[in-house]
Chains A and B, each alone.
Chain A
């Protein structure tokens, strides 16, 4: 080749750029990448803010846990990296007060504890809460409310802990890192690490858990994590932040799903915009290709020039998009940052790279077939204008778009199942949009002979450009659908989520209620004018066998599974599951069924490796209870309903010793009731989950806010699709308009013609979009978020009305300029 394609593509880039043809494509890429990177930056920061909040649950960013004293190496390794550390030990032991003895979970903390989150205490049981700087000082002991109730001591009394006596100074009401099952643990007693030797309780033989807490700069923590991982002793292990209460875990996971999905929609839309713009560009470049071939360029050269040019555009506009995304993200976080207590952590650099990658992948995936097609324009086109390149093979366009989508989805969702579903959904939607668009255009044909000149001309336009119209219609449909999804379905989904945790959700649990205490308690509540809450039976049992395999905690890899396997489960029985439960496999028991069955929560089943049909044996009060798993359930843990991992038909567990559990809502002034209840029934335990609920609610609020934010960018991407689709027929339309005017049509007639075309197109696209959005909303609600779905009539009204108005307006905007200019000018330009 006489001139290098590389150099030529670079040199011609500027010329081509000035001509404006590439600008639409570049704009699509810029907006796409800006959307993706700003979402990336923002979600990165929000996720890290959430993670930061989640670290409260550990009281640190990372914890080293061991049955033995944790080695000095590990703690100096942390301080050398500028990280703060704290230590504590926990162990069960009996505490004494007068004649009363009670098994408690003892926790001895040093001055640094906790590194993340704050403790909360009260000066007297059920009194107002305070946030102290740290834990109890030497000689002091703090205890949970229920211990005050059970043992009858007061603030100021001396409590016997092992060989020493410690003075009770505070009621411990909240501990950020109190993980695990709310109802499982013995009451907490907290004192200072310095008093441990005096208690004489920690001996090599005692069941002690040592923890080294580490917190600080993220990079340093990560560095420490990998450094420490190689230096752990046999029984030491590192715990991350996710091992939180199921309520919080689920809230965070769901928040991430929402964010990820919002970003995904932006990517999909961007792809659509790029595909439309590239198709248009390649059509406009047919002459260039033919003339270049005529002047002696090989097909290879032409293809290389266009590909390289595309690559330049992709790289440059991706960079511009990443920058714009960063800028947009800073502005918006400046506006929204106040919502995040303590501000958002800084953004990392990875969204720039992923933005670049997404830009390149998206451009290649959606524009490549169109670009390759440019090389196939026959040179004879210079003599016979109607000759063009054959349209790119459908399988190539679709296949490549699918692979691209798959890659992007997998990357964005980080979850093959979710990616697969969204991909499936996208394919189904695409096929549907395209098919219905074709059908609509076909159905319009007979209408061409009716109505006024303007309408006829408009409709004729639609059906004459059949294939282009279908592309345009589905592009409009896609854009409007995304907008609808985000505008309405998003609100529906988010509010359904928040309704899971309504304002009047129960915020207290009462456990250890004896069967004979149920009725008197009910009466007590009613006497205070409160709804008598529902009481659920609870039977404790340890999982002994899964089929013929004995359950051994040591057999499990994950810490969570290990803990679950080690402890006693709260089993319950009943005739119906809680309303928030959904059976996802098998069926709920019916009257007349075999009685030996279990219904297991899906997450637990996964963690412990339990499958449908497995035979589970629980050891309950020295007896074995056996049954088959006949259903798996999902549970909305973040609803704060009373829920159980394992349920059985009443007959299977009815003979077993049971206590009752209930949940109810009490505001601050209701604490008197609790004091009364505890006085009357000393053995019951009241758990206050208000603080935990606040945490869950604040995660929901932040996630909602973040999704709203992400929505702005997806909106932009949607508008780009519309823009690209209008741009694609702009020049043809301009020429036609000029021609019509030359033939004597008045401005009004031409405008009415164009307007009717756009209005019809917009309404049809809106109809398509509303149907698509309803379908997708349903799938999302039912399949992914496990939330109830409600048909929203506004979807249809907004879709059809908004589609007609929006597309009509955009079309009118595009046509207005043409009508102002003398026809000759346009004709010349379009020649």
Chain B
């Protein structure tokens, strides 16, 4: 079940994100639900990995564990060479700051902040408080929203909001970016626009990408495609 490149990345010790025997069980209404039953994964720098799977197969759960947003029931996650199991919640947050980016299906922009302020927030928290404004403007320019910086999320279209989210994710120049169905809420044309942006920036900045998606088009652009089925990850 373990893929070759997984083994390769781990063997070289260069993996940015690494999962070993990852399990996750939750207490559901009908008893225990084993969502993940032993997932192994290694993502090398600048590598793009797509995680595919049926709805409810546990993709988002896995992504949350890899990013340190939640703790596994068993196994281990190593993010940027740190074992997350040993870290407190706050230490995991510190690890993420400026080094881990996110793009979500539902955009997750803060409605109270303008496009510029949303991007600035991740820069300020990610260690660039001094030149946050300048960097944020640059990032927004790169995603083609230079003249929409003062708009609030509610004044932007879905595609535009996602572009702001992409700008926010890339602005601090992270080492790895997690994306959970980043095109799930968008039409095909807009989705392709976002995909172009994501891969353009990834190539430019050398960011590793971990993508959860249903989108074949998106998956096909990744270096590897892994399938989550019955709680385990495979190449088919």
Contact = CB atoms under 8 A, between A and B. Distances in A.
Interface of A: 2-3, 7-8, 15-16, 18-19, 21, 287-288, 291-300, 378-380, 382-385, 828-829, 831
Given A19-B113, A287-B110, A288-B110, A383 B127 contact: no
A288 B127 CA distance: 18
Given A292-B121, A298-B94, A383-B64, A378 B127 contact: no
Given A2-B126, A294-B102, A296-B126, 9 more contacts: A2-B129, A7-B129, A8-B124, A15-B114, A288-B110, A295-B97, A296-B93, A299-B93, A383-B104
A295 B121 contact: yes
Interface in B128-154: 128-129, 152, 154
Contacts of A297: 93, 97, 125
A296 B102 CA distance: 11
Nearest to A731: B111
- Highest count of chain B CB atoms <10 Å: which of A2, A294, A297, A831: A294
B180 A383 contact: yes
B22 to A, nearest CB: 15
B96 A296 contact: yes
A379 B97 CA distance: 13
Q: What are the 8 A-B residue pairs with the smallest beta carbon separation, nearest first?
A: A296-B97, A19-B112, A3-B129, A298-B90, A2-B127, A296-B96, A380-B69, A829-B154
B222 interface: no
Contacts of B117: 15
A693 B100 CA distance: 81
Given A296-B93, A299-B90, A380-B64, A385 B106 contact: yes
Nearest to A14: B117
B69 to A, nearest CB: 4
B1 to A, nearest CB: 25
A294 B110 contact: no
A382 B60 CA distance: 10
- Highest count of chain A CB atoms <10 Å: which of B99, B112, B114, B122: B112
B111 A295 contact: no
A295 B154 contact: no
Contacts of B99: 296
Contacts of B104: 382-383
B60 A383 contact: yes
Nearest to A826: B154
Contacts of A382: 69, 102, 104, 108
26 contacts: A2-B124, A2-B126, A2-B129, A15-B112, A15-B113, A16-B112, A19-B111, A19-B113, A21-B112, A288-B112, A291-B121, A292-B125, A293-B93, A294-B67, A294-B96, A295-B122, A296-B93, A296-B96, A296-B97, A296-B98, A378-B70, A380-B64, A382-B104, A383-B63, A384-B64, A828-B154
A673 to B, nearest CB: 80
Nearest to B68: A379
Contact of A291 (B64, B94, B98, B110): B110
A2 B172 CA distance: 13
Contacts of A8: 124, 129
Nearest to A827: B154
Contacts of B108: 287, 291, 382
- Highest count of chain A CB atoms <10 Å: which of B93, B104, B126, B180: B93
- Highest count of chain B CB atoms <10 Å: which of A16, A19, A382: A382
Contacts of A385: 106
Contacts of B69: 294, 378-380, 382-383
A763 to B, nearest CB: 34
Nearest to A19: B112
B89 interface: yes
A742 to B, nearest CB: 17
Interface size class of B (residues with CB under 8 A): 35 or more
A384 B108 CA distance: 12
A18 B112 CA distance: 8
Contacts of B98: 2, 296
B125 to A, nearest CB: 5
Contacts of A379: 69, 93
A7 B61 CA distance: 35
Contacts of B129: 2-3, 7-8
Contacts of A19: 111-113, 152
- Highest count of chain B CB atoms <10 Å: which of A292, A297, A300: A297
A831 B63 CA distance: 23
B92 to A, nearest CB: 9
B118 to A, nearest CB: 9
A299 B94 CA distance: 10
B82 to A, nearest CB: 13
Contacts of B121: 291-292, 295
Contacts of A294: 67, 69, 96, 102
A380 B102 CA distance: 12
A831 B185 CA distance: 13
Nearest to A379: B69
B103 to A, nearest CB: 10
Nearest to B105: A383
A601 to B, nearest CB: 63
A2 B154 CA distance: 29
Nearest to A17: B112
Nearest to A829: B154
B71 to A, nearest CB: 10
A734 to B, nearest CB: 12
Given A378-B70, A382-B108, A385-B106, A296 B60 contact: no
- Highest count of chain A CB atoms <10 Å: which of B99, B106, B128: B106
B90 A300 contact: yes
Contact of A296 (B63, B94, B110, B113): B94
Contacts of B94: 296, 298
B214 to A, nearest CB: 16
Contact of A295 (B89, B114, B125): B125
Contacts of B122: 295
A381 B72 CA distance: 16
B33 to A, nearest CB: 14
A503 B126 CA distance: 77
A293 B152 CA distance: 21
A293 B67 CA distance: 12
- Highest count of chain A CB atoms <10 Å: which of B99, B121, B128: B121
Contacts of A293: 93
Contacts of B112: 15-16, 18-19, 21, 288
A110 B90 CA distance: 80
B16 to A, nearest CB: 16
B89 A299 contact: yes
A3 B128 CA distance: 8
Nearest to B60: A383
Contacts of B93: 293, 296-299, 379
- Highest count of chain B CB atoms <10 Å: which of A2, A295, A828, A831: A295
Contacts of B124: 2-3, 8
- Highest count of chain B CB atoms <10 Å: which of A7, A296, A297, A831: A296
A384 B26 CA distance: 14
A829 B111 CA distance: 8
Contacts of A298: 90, 93-94
A141 B192 CA distance: 110
B36 to A, nearest CB: 14
B126 A295 contact: yes
